[in-house]
Structures are given as C-alpha cells and as structure tokens.
Structure 1
C-alpha cells in the first residue's frame, strides 16, 4: 500500500495543479452551479471526459497529438470560434439587466447544457495540452505497473474539483442574489473567453498551436 501512495499522490497533485485555474470550462461549471442548473450531469460529464483524456494521454495518444501540428492548428481555430462566440454572448448578457439574475428565465435545457460542456471540454486545445500531453507525459514516466494508480489519482482530483466547483457555488448564492454580481461574473466570463480565443489564433498564426 505504501508503494502505491506516491504515484497516486503524484497523479492527484499534477491533475489538481493543471485544472484548478480560471478557464472556459471552470467558469461554465461555476455559472451553472450558481444557477443550480443540471449540476450533477455537468460535473459527471467533466469528470468522465477528463478521465478518458488522461487515460488516452498515459496510453500514448499525447505523443501522437504532439506530432500532428496541422490537427492541433485546426482544433485551435475551431476552439477559438467557439470560445469567442460564447464570450460575446456573455458580454451581451451582461448588458441586459433581465438576463443577469437567478431566475429560471433563459435557463439551458439539459441537452444544451451538455452540448456547451462538451464544447468547452473538447473544442479547447488547452484541455488536450493539460490532460493528454502534460499528464500523459508525467504518467508515462511512471513504472508501467503503477500507471493505473497515477491515473486513478489524477481522475480523483478532477472529480473532486468539479464536484466542489459545481456544488460549492451555492455558497456564493447570497452574493449573486444581486444582478450586479452577475454582471461582474459575465464580464469575467466574456473577457476570459475572448482572451483565450485570441491566444489560440495568435498561436496558430505564429505556428505554435498547442
């Protein structure tokens, strides 16, 4: 058991260090958690998606992506378009007082919420950079018998984070009872999405897409 702890902790810490950051996916999960909309399915989707990507990375898919710059460039452009469109929607929502409340008006259906979650997960090249390339590299460096333990630790960190983010958002409910707080959040979402989109386009132009 003692020998299994180091790879588990390495996987947990590595995964946590990469996913606990302000990003498109995290901001969407936070916003849905604040609105109490489909939190369970969204958290489950994010955790399972990360698990699949981490397993793929440790299994060697990361090396393939690293050797396919044209594919990653196309992925970056698609992700930039998706992030920019959502960023503009968030900024537009910020300017409409009726849209920045906890009311159910304008809430997403489960299908649309999961579609958006899938977009933030699979159309964002940074997700592949973190889970497939970086975690894949770290995991591949582990002895073969211990790689499943590393993956388990990384997956546990992912599920723990998204669960805390989605369900812990309700702690902030008193703050977001005010429309002004929603305006600030949507401004942060919009600016972050547009900044990420711009960074992806710049990387493609410079020939260094993730």
Structure 2
C-alpha cells in the first residue's frame, strides 16, 4: 500500500504526460487512448523496476546524458505548448466539419514516447527516487513496494485516459477546448522552460 500511495503522489500532479493523456481521453477515441495509456504505465513500470535493480546509480553517473535529454525534452515541451497555444488562439484549427479534430495514432504514440522518455524528471522520480525508497524496504519487501508503485501508475493512467470521457459533455463547445488547450499550453511551456533552466 505504501508503494501504491507513493507512486500515486508522484504521478497525479499535473505534468506533460497527464495533460496529454487527459486531452486524448476527452477526444474519446479508444483506438488511440489504449496504446497511449499502455505506453505511459509500461514505461513507468520499466523505470521503477530499473530503479529497484539499482540502475539509479548509472543514471546519476551519466550527467551528459541527462543534459542531452533535458535539452531535447525542453524543446519538445515548448514546441508542443506552442501548438496548444495556437489551437487555443485559433479555434478554427480545432474544428473540422463541426467535430473536434482528433490526434492520429502515430502522432499520439510518438508524442507520448517523447513526453515520457525525453523528460529527465521521469528518471529522477522513478529510477532514482522510487528506486531508492523501494530499496530501503528490505530485500523481499522492496518488490512488493515496487509492485504497488507500478500498480499506481496503471490505475492512474487508466483512470485518467478512460475517465476523461466523462468530461466530454463539457467539451461539446469549441470554447471549452480553447480553455483546455490554453491550460495545456501554459503547463507545457512552463515545464519546458523549467527543464531548459535545469530546475
């Protein structure tokens, strides 16, 4: 239970992954949301297990790799944020024949992979932090703890991705999408700038 609670406390905070999954979930296309949720949760599982196996030491010893990921990640976040800002400013870009324009499978998968694996904070949170906490639990207990953290990731991303459809009536108007995209733009750009500055 402790691993579940700690994992949830780290991933529930609004971030680039969560904002992206939320938008896809509201779009309501299960063909896209299923692989995106699976990629988010499976990536967390891999990184958490890597941390438990002690790979956090390797990550900490590779500052150049962290810098490269920080530069690439910040550039991607800022670019994605600018696209969201454009959608918010130009609502016509949101609607095609009266229907909110949807994100394609390839774009969704590539975007979520970039949001996950190019973000150094993901490695700090999962490999270093969660791995370190898990390894403080004892030889046998650490795997139960890590299992709880992995379960938290699957539960959260599934709830976010599939539960977002409940918000769909609120997003029947293009103006609601403009507000959401404005929030996503601010979140992504702010995170990108923080990442670029090394915070």
User: Shorter chain as normaliser: what TM range?
Assistant: over 0.9
Could you tell me the TM-score, scaled by structure 1's length? Answer: 0.88
State how far apart, in whole Å, the 2-side matches of 1:104 and 1:145 are. Answer: 52
Q: Which among 55, 59, 64 is matched to residue 65 of structure 1?
A: 59
Structure 2 distance, partners of 1:46, 1:70, is: 25
Question: Does the 8 Å contact 1:15/1:157 carry over to 2?
Answer: yes
Corresponding residue to 2:43 among 46, 49, 57: 49
Q: Deviations 1:99-158 (Å, cap 9, x if unpaired)?
A: 335965642221221111101110111111111111011011121112221111011100
TM-score calculated relative to the size of structure 2: 0.93
More off after superposition, 125-134 vs 155-164: 125-134
Q: Residue 173 of structure 2 aligns with which residue?
A: 178
How far apart are 1:41 and its partner, in Å? 1.2
Which sections of structure 1, spanning at least 5 residues, go unmatched? 1-8, 204-208
1:104–1:128 CA distance, 2 compared to 1 (3 A): farther
| CA distances 1:55-76 after superposition (whole Å, capped 9, x unpaired) | 0011111122122222211111
User: Are 2:124 and 1:129 aligned?
Assistant: yes
Contact 1:121 1:127 in 2 (8 A): yes
1:193 aligns with 2:194: no
Among 75, 79, 85, the alignment partner of 2:73 is 79
Kindly indicate whether the alpha-carbon contact (under 8 Å) linking 1:79 and 1:123 is maintained by their aligned counterparts in 2.
Answer: yes
Output the CA distance in 2 between the equivalents of 1:28 and 1:162: 11
- The answer to whether structure 1 residue 157 and structure 2 residue 149 are counterparts is no
Match of residue 115 from structure 2: 120
In the alignment, what sits opposite 1:22? 14
Distance 1:161 1:30 in 2: 11
Q: Give the alignment's Cα RMSD to 1 decimal.
A: 1.5
Aligned equivalents of 1:106 and 1:184: distance in 2?
A: 15
Matched-pair contact (CA < 8 Å) for 1:101–1:177 = no
Check if 1:96 corresponds to 2:90: yes
Q: Distance in 2 between matches of 1:183 and 1:167?
A: 21
Alpha-carbon distance in structure 2 between the residues aligned to 1:23 and 1:30: 11
Matched residue of 1:144: which SS?
Answer: coil
